[in-house]
Amino acid sequence: MKNMRNAFSILLLVCVVSGMLVAEKKRDSLEKMQLLVGQWRGAGQIKRGSTVGGWIESSSWQWEFDKEAALVFETDKGKYFKSGKLIAGEEPGTYALVTTSPDGKSQRFDGKIDDQGKLTLVAETAEKGQPARVHFRFVASGKRLIMLIEQRAGKSFYTRLGEVGFTRKGSGFGQGQATVLCVVTEGAGTIPVTYKGKTYFVCCTGCKDYFNEDPEQALAEYAERLKNKKSKKKQSP
């Protein structure tokens, strides 16, 4: 009986550790899209170079640490999306985006990042005239974000629905600025937090909540990541 208890305890520990490793890998995968975090001003165009049918929207992206790490957004006056959540997929290097349209309809897009850093996501299902494929790409060192939205035109062809060019709020676009790192995700730290009289920075309210819940753990994780990075640099030729 004692041996069975020990075996069960070991199995439980293995499952817990395995789950933690999977969660950590998914979070690491999401950090490749860390530049999404922040406040954005967007100008939408149906046809590139034309203001006919154009619109203005604002988006806010931040981290969420609930059952699993996610990058979530809300959009004010968005033409196609009102809110959404980006998570790491089950397969390494894949992502899933679940969105809600202005009229409350939900869609799921799946995809991956290409060699140029562009994230392309394709919808499981899409009604005629609705988003079927979405591309995200950063320009100007992350101060600009381009979102291209396409509809299906046949089984394997897509045509443009619209494009939104976002500028990061407070980025000083066109000006050089020093970057302070977020102690939770190592993104651009813009929000100050304090612990034991010392000030640190985080990139969004999601990271702020994570830090305030257990500052010592957050700082220990940050120190461990920095240590691992230094170790990898020493090992590289």
Task: Read off the tokens for 194.
Answer: 């304090």
State how far the Cα of 236 lies from the Cα of 157, in Å rounded to an integer.
Answer: 43
> For residue 161, which of 152, 172, 173, 150 has the smallest C-alpha distance?
150
pLDDT in tens, the chain (237 residues): 555 555 544 544 443 334 444 467 788 889 999 999 999 999 999 998 888 999 999 999 999 998 889 999 999 999 999 999 999 998 989 999 999 999 999 999 999 999 999 999 999 888 888 999 999 999 988 889 999 999 998 877 999 999 999 999 876 544 444 568 899 988 888 899 999 999 999 999 999 999 999 999 999 999 988 888 777 666 655
Q: Cα 86 from chain centroid?
A: 6
State how far the Cα of 65 lies from the Cα of 107, in Å rounded to an integer.
Answer: 22
Give the predicted TM-score (pTM) of the model.
0.76
Main-chain dihedrals φ then ψ at residue 99, nearest 5 degrees: -120, 160
Sequence-distant (≥ 6) Cβ neighbours of residue 31 within 8 angstroms: 185, 186, 187
State how far the Cα of 112 lies from the Cα of 22, in Å rounded to an integer.
Answer: 18
Domains, the chain, ordered by start: 32-168 (2.40.128.20), 178-237 (no CATH)
